[in-house]
Amino acid sequence: MRCEISCLCVIIAAIILPSAAKIRATFPFDCIYVRDECPNEHIQFWLYKNISSEPQLLDPLNLIKADFEPRWPLKILIHGFNGNRYASPNLESRSVLLRTQQVHVISVDYSRLAAFPCYYPWAVSNARVVARCLAQLTDNLIERGIYMDKDIHLIGFSLGAQIAGLSANNVNQPLRRITGLDPAGPAFVTYNRSEKLDASDAEFVDVIHTDPFFYSTLDRSGHADFYPNLDKFFQPGCNIVQDGRLRNCNHFRAPLYYAESIASNRGFWSYQCGEWLKFVMQQCREYADMPHTQMGYFVSKNASGSYFLQTEAYAPFAKGPIIDVELNISKPAWFLDEA
């Protein structure tokens, strides 16, 4: 028996990514290889204090305590490739966080360093500088007494998830929590642990994998890794071709699920099943008595291992508490048996 999906994804990425270089040559676009210095004019940090006020552009070296509410936790949102401070996970999570939780939000914007049609590995190279500048910001927030380390939570989508992990290599104070929303797989799948998001990057790392066969990876990246709908190649409600164009619906389900979890009255309840291969081999029964765990914002910090769940095809996506029949999911159609 064999599962060659991860290898296939690497091959596909190797075919697709070089084509981006041809696209780049077609456009009069200034692709920036950023200098390794922080602060950096191409890396911005925007503070959002509430749902109605205008955001404030922060100077990482001149942080003013009066601009913050230290009793409120801080959520730092980090976008992915071809994103900005208005894109995922900001698009889905920022307003619901400010509306329903007593928190402040900082949105990282490095859009000039990771914009299509520039070559994706160029953005990956720049990500290391973004991570260093993010580490400088978090260190200054803690050292100036604006926040305690326990109150800072990094939430990154795709390339942003990898940036959150890379920032852990540069901080003076260990990070308490990182949430990775479908961490980027291309270019990172062959990197060692110190060069991508993993469980050593924070006291607690939770990860949601929604597109493990293309833009992300099946590999565990945290203390608790969640695999919604792993028995299906597409997330429910997704189709790779919509309106005649190639879409990445699977990938963007992760920030959607996470944002819904912040205010959901159902909850994305999941069950443990060892590694993902045990799930594929239908060997989950031995875990049937393990406590069920919520995926997302309210995940238990004691969660550890790989967790599986089903979602609805359309919002609201959460199905609520697990029922026993969901432990008998059929073998995924994408899994290849030896003839």
**pLDDT reported for residue 26:** 36
**pLDDT reported for residue 154:** 99
Summarised one tens digit per residue, pLDDT across range 94-126 is 999 999 999 999 999 999 999 987 878 889 999
Looking at residue 257, its amino acid is Y
**pLDDT reported for residue 105:** 98
**pLDDT reported for residue 331:** 59
Write out residues in the chain with pLDDT < 70, as ranges: 1-29, 240-246, 286, 324-339
The CATH code of the domain at 5-328 is 3.40.50.1820
Dihedral sign (CA 86, 242, 276, 297): positive
Q: How far is CA 106 from CA 48, 75, 159, 162, 173, in A?
A: 6, 6, 17, 17, 18
**pLDDT reported for residue 290:** 80
Q: Which residues are designated catalytic?
A: 158, 182, 251
Structural domain boundaries in the chain = 5-328
Residue found under tokens 């075919």: 15
Which residues have a Cβ under 8 Å from the Cβ of 107 and sit 6 or more positions away?
45, 46, 48, 55, 76, 77, 79, 85, 90, 94
Rounded Cα distance between 45 and 106, Å, is: 6
Question: Three-state secondary structure along 270-335?
Answer: EEECCCHHHHHCCCCHHHCCCCCEEECCCCCCCCCEEEEECCCCCCCCCCECCCHHHHHCCCCCCC
**pLDDT reported for residue 20:** 40
**pLDDT reported for residue 15:** 39
**pLDDT reported for residue 10:** 42
**pLDDT reported for residue 6:** 46
pTM beyond 0.85, yes or no: yes
**pLDDT reported for residue 322:** 85
